[in-house]
Every structure is written in structure tokens, then in C-alpha cells.
Structure 1
């Protein structure tokens, strides 16, 4: 992949830009084999799963800088000033087409970008998600409600210029710190969810829902988990850190009890909505995964898809439980290695790299574990 922004030194976020994609995958595979070698036999590794090396991101997290009539959408430089990256080649085609339009709309509406050095202004970020069916979720992150009226007045023009806009909202982030969003969200459209079709399942994203950045690779991840779980044929499955239900909904099958646990009540509502629409027999509860486990009889198979910190004490519980199989999807192989070390009687049968983030050193890896002895 070639990038004008990288070549000009304007953005160096893609640390592997210019490295051939085959070489990127080979290097990542070698790194994972070295890092996880104590826990994953060489014969357990499957071929890496990869999608396109560019045009793959379904979500843009854009810092708004510049001026009221000439905004920049992209990142900040070392001085806290906006660097415009509206034509970034990582974005899906539909998302790439929408971002310049949004830049024009922001400028025409007179929304004042937040200036980090002076701590003045209102519009901090635009968070835009694109679905496989061409629909959009557009979130305006403001410092205060001061320009809420301007955003509301912008909605008819937004719908006219970007007719695929399904959800629009304002998020309030009043603090001066490097975080994307704040705790308060105001949905401005009648519809509150963005349907994301993945394989044969339609997931529903609300404004604060987590979803994998790469839809193509996410589909491969869920399909692989479905194959591994089908091979195990469990009668009961728990999906911990289930989010909007991606794994749980893919793993549901006749005669199988599937339960998803997630701390975000908003995500649980989305998962329940998807299950109801598809007629899938799966249940979802709001709660802490570790606490939930301590209070109930263990299932036959557990899926975990934790944040970067890994599962920590939950690994100790799994090691001492009666769970026969575990499918662990990790975005941080270092914490995965630590967690595998805490589960010595759960041995890796299969492992696979899923390259969610081409052009970077970040990877998703999933392992299929089976209890021995």
C-alpha cells in the first residue's frame, strides 16, 4: 500500500506502511510463534486470515481541528494542531466517500473546532461508522451543549448529502484530556442502531457499542469460532465479554444453551435485539464476567474476547473449573501468553492470526483450548 500522507511525513500511525503485505503477515506470524511458543505447538498454527490491506476500516475516529470555515479531519500534530487526513486509504470505500462530505458540512454549519492549545472551541471529534449495506452512524463529539442546535439544524442537509445516514448523535466530552468521547450521548435520529451484517447474522450497534474495526476479518473470526465450537459439540456455551453478541449469535444451535455476559447494558440490548430478529435461542445478561462465573455451574465451553488487559483472575477460575473447552480471542498476544500460563491443563489445539489491522504491529489471535487429563 502507498500513502501520500505517510510519504509526506504528515501521519506515521501506520508503522508498517511501505512493507509488502506478504512480508507483514510473515513477520507477524513469526512474532506470534516466538511469543506464544511455550503454549502453542508449531503444528497447531493455521494459515493467517487476512482481508484487503487497504480500504478495510469500517470506522473513522477523526480529530477535528483547523478553523470554523476550514476544518481539518484527522489527527493532531505534536503542537496540538489539526492534520487533515480526510482521504486516508484505510477507510472502506463508502466511508472514504462520506468523510469529505462531512468535512464540507461541518465547515458550512459553522461548527467551531476545539483548539487544544488554547482550550477554546466546541467540536472535538467526528466518529463515523460504515455498515456493509452502506449505512452510516455519525457522532459529533462536543465539549458542551453550546453547538447542539447547530448540529440539529444540520440533520436535514446531512440526510440529503449522505442519504445512508441512519443514526446521528451528539456526544458530550467536557474534559480537556485525550479521550474520544464522554459519558453523555444524545441521539438525534428516530433510529438508534446501525445494523452490521456479518456472515448470516445482523448485529446492531448503538452509539457506544464496540465492534471490530475490520468487518471482513471479523466475519472470518466468527466463522472460525463457529467451526471450532461445532467440532466440540457443547450443550452449553458462555460468551464472556460478549459485546453486541457476535460470538454468541454465531455459536447458537438447536439444543445448545448459549449465554452472553457483558458489562455494557447498551450492548446487551443490541444482542437481545439481534437474537429476537433472527429467532436465535440465546440469552444475554448484564454483569461482570468473573463475578458471574463464581456464582454458577460451569458450562461445557467458554468463549472469551477480553480487552487488551486479558482475563487475569478469570484464567485461574477457568483452570480450576470443569470447563472442557475454551475459545480465546485476544487483541494482545502478550496478555494472552500470561493467561495461557495460568491455565496449564487447557492445551491449545488450534491457533490462528486474524489480521484486523494491516500496516501496523497490532493483531488479533484466537486459540482453541481443550482440557487434558
Structure 2
């Protein structure tokens, strides 16, 4: 299977990528797009099912772009992700497979689903954990028959697949989405149309606090105001746990979901949740890991690999709302955090105060600009550990160069894309560092993505 979860098959030496095929399947397929050396196809029938094939729990699993691996047993999903990380490190990073210090992937235990409720426990089909996501972004639109619909985008498209009762999120999302849909129908409020850039309701962003039970709803609108907003707000606030209702204004012709301006309609402009002993304020635009159970495992590894004793100065790059920063600050002398989103840095500073952690300082800006500028002004300053958790594109080379110049004893790299991780590790290890440990963590059961935590130590001879 490829990195998008498509099966790779061959007919007379010709390679075909087949959506919804599982490793070990023997299928009859139809070619839908042919190029000179490879093509794309779809499954017509399964002649011999793979020993790893299971019946998906969600009826929309095949057309929906959210769960690429739901037809595969969870044990094989974990193997798929572990193999992907290893292959990237070997093929892109140039590391030796035999000497790669890679730990077995940390999967999610059955029964750990944080948002499973009584009405979901009788669900059948699928394999592994479901109902683990604390966040969902649901586009609204019109079906071909004119009905207002919500769901998820089909893979590689912006066509909405109706997905009522998603198996990955909190069950309360369905009640919220139905409330919004009925409100739109009742007051003739149009969903957004990408082709004509018309209509009002683009997305509903829903967050749920695992430990607190607090719920946030943020409607993304193609306009300056929501008509009859008080009616919808009153209905949503009746839902148990509802703590924040807001609108996000995005009038741009773009596929970026959130705009810059958020207007709070009811409650607070944030919700709170906990990771370990720490409490965090989370706003609509904040980055916050979507799987609360696995997040504690991932951050536990970051803390373990950092090996802090209380005397260290630490930088946390791409720090978001300070989730990792505050974890580290409990055991470090000083932690500096950098994040480009102003609202996230505001949350980070509030979170430090909320938890009574004074030994942190946060900067707004691009890490590749803030850190080099700080280093030029503080060349004599000692930096012991750098933690970096970049977006999927990885680190800018300017930032990697500055990290090497700062000469920290350790670099902890947290990655959501093992391909760019491998590229960046290759650079760091060609300069002054060596890979000590690699720990994949499955944050996204049923999907293809995998988080990785890597400990790098400085070569003593450099």
C-alpha cells in the first residue's frame, strides 16, 4: 500500500494504485486513469479477501476521505505505519535499517476510546479504536437533490460525502450538526458554494474537552454576520457541556478553513482541557492534538527523551498553545516557545499563568525568523535542549542551520510527517548530531498518518 492507503497491484508489470484495496487482496478492478508507467483504479469485486481485511464500521468509509485504513485490521494498521516510518528514514534519510534505533509503535489500546458512550458501544465492524477525536471540521453544502448536507470531503476532492454519525469523533457532534442543519433549513440560510463563492455557512468546527466535558462550536461563515444568531446560540447552549459558541469570518476564496477574525456569541472564547496535571485554554484557531489518550503517551516520550534535571534552558519551536512547553517547564530552568499564530501565543501565556508556571517566555513569529534573530543577540547564551514540532512541511533549512549553531546537547524532533522528518534528520546528522531513539506513536487509528518522536544527541567529536 502507498502512503495514502491505496493498494498497489500489478498486471503484466504495469502498476496500478487501487483505492480501498488492502494488502493481500486479490481483486477485480477497473482502470479509471492510465499513464505510461502506472495508473489508478477502483475495486469492482474482491476475488480473494486479504487475511487483514475487516468490514468497516462506517458505511461511508469507502467514499469518505477521512478513514483510509478502516477496512484493515488494527494490528496491520500499526505494522503499516511502523513500516512507513522505517522506509522513510532508510530511503530519504539514508539511515541503515539494521542500526536504526527504532522502538515498536505505541498503539492505542482497545477500550481507551475517550469519547465512546453507551449508544456507540454496540457498534459493529471495523477493528481497533474509534471515537477518539476531540476535534472535527465539518463542511456544509447542498446535495444534488438540493438537500443541505454536512460530512467530509471525498479523497482528493472537495465533494462532500454525507457522514452522519462519524465513528471517530464524539457522538455529541451529531446532535450539534443536526441542530445547525435544522436552523439553516428553518431560516433559509444557505450553505457555502465553492464554485460560485456564494452562500454563508462554510464549516462547523467542534471541539470537545476529554477531561472537562466542555464543548466548543465555531461556525465558519462567508460573511460579516450570522442572521438570527441568537436563535442558534440558544439552541446550542442547551446541549450539555456547551461552553463556547462563536463565528469565524472567512470571506476569502480559498480552501483554508479558518479566517483570522473570531466573534464570540455566547460563553467564553475558549474551552479548557487537561493533559496530565496541566490545564490548557483552547481557542478555535489553536493547534491542540486531536487524540487525548495518545497525546499523553507522546508527550511522556518527549519528556523522557529530554532528560531534564531542572537546570536546563529549553526552546520549544512551533509551540502552539504551549502544550509541550509547559510539560517541559515543570522540569526545566527556563523554556522559550515560538509560534506564528498570535491567538495561540496568547493562549500559551494564559496557560502558563493558569498553571502557575513562571519560567516560560513566548514569542510570536516564524521560528525560522525568531530563533536566528534571538541567537544573534544572545550568542553567549547556553541552550541545552531544543524541541521542535513543525507542520507537515518540516523545518526551514535556515532554522535547522541555526539549531546546529546553537549547539544544544539534545534535539527532540516531534513529527507528523515521517518523510519531511527523514529529510531534516539527514541534515542534522550530516552536521553534528546522531539519532539515539525513534518512537512512532499512533495518534490516528483508521487513518494513514503517524506521529514520531526522535531523540538526537550531539556528537562529542564535533
Where does residue 412 of structure 2 map in the other structure?
327
Q: Is residue 2:70 matched to residue 1:17?
A: yes
Judge conservation of contact 2:138–2:152 (CA < 8 Å) in 1: yes
| Pairwise CA distance, 1:105 | 4.1
Where does residue 317 of structure 1 map in the other structure?
402
**Match for 1:47 among 95, 101, 104?**
104
Secondary structure of 1:283 counterpart: strand
Where does residue 360 of structure 1 map in the other structure?
447
Larger Rg: 2
| Pairwise CA distance, 1:20 | 0.4
TM-score by length of 1: 0.90
Aligned-residue RMSD, C-alpha: 2.5
Judge conservation of contact 2:207–2:215 (CA < 8 Å) in 1: yes
| Pairwise CA distance, 1:82 | 4.1
- Structure 1, unaligned runs of 5 or more: none
Change in 2 beyond 3 A, CA 1:310/1:101: same
Change in 2 beyond 3 A, CA 1:189/1:244: same
| Pairwise CA distance, 1:154 | 1.6
Judge conservation of contact 1:94–1:134 (CA < 8 Å) in 2: no
Secondary structure of 2:428 counterpart: coil
Where does residue 303 of structure 1 map in the other structure?
387
Q: Which has the larger displacement, 199-208 or 69-78?
A: 69-78
- Structure 2, unaligned runs of 5 or more: 1-54, 114-128
Where does residue 202 of structure 1 map in the other structure?
279
Q: 1: distance between equivalents of 2:147 and 2:322?
A: 40
The count of aligned residue pairs is 370
Q: 1: distance between equivalents of 2:263 and 2:445?
A: 33
Q: Which has the larger displacement, 107-116 or 280-289?
A: 107-116
Q: Which has the larger displacement, 220-229 or 104-113?
A: 104-113
Q: 2: distance between equivalents of 1:301 and 1:82?
A: 44
Where does residue 66 of structure 1 map in the other structure?
142
Where does residue 339 of structure 1 map in the other structure?
424
Change in 2 beyond 3 A, CA 1:95/1:348: farther
Please state which structure has a larger fraction of its residues in helix. Answer: 1
**Match for 2:218 among 124, 129, 139?**
139
Where does residue 5 of structure 1 map in the other structure?
59
| Pairwise CA distance, 1:254 | 5.6
Q: Which has the larger displacement, 57-66 or 115-124?
A: 115-124
TM-score by length of 2: 0.74
Q: 2: distance between equivalents of 1:293 and 1:214?
A: 29
| Pairwise CA distance, 1:156 | 1.3
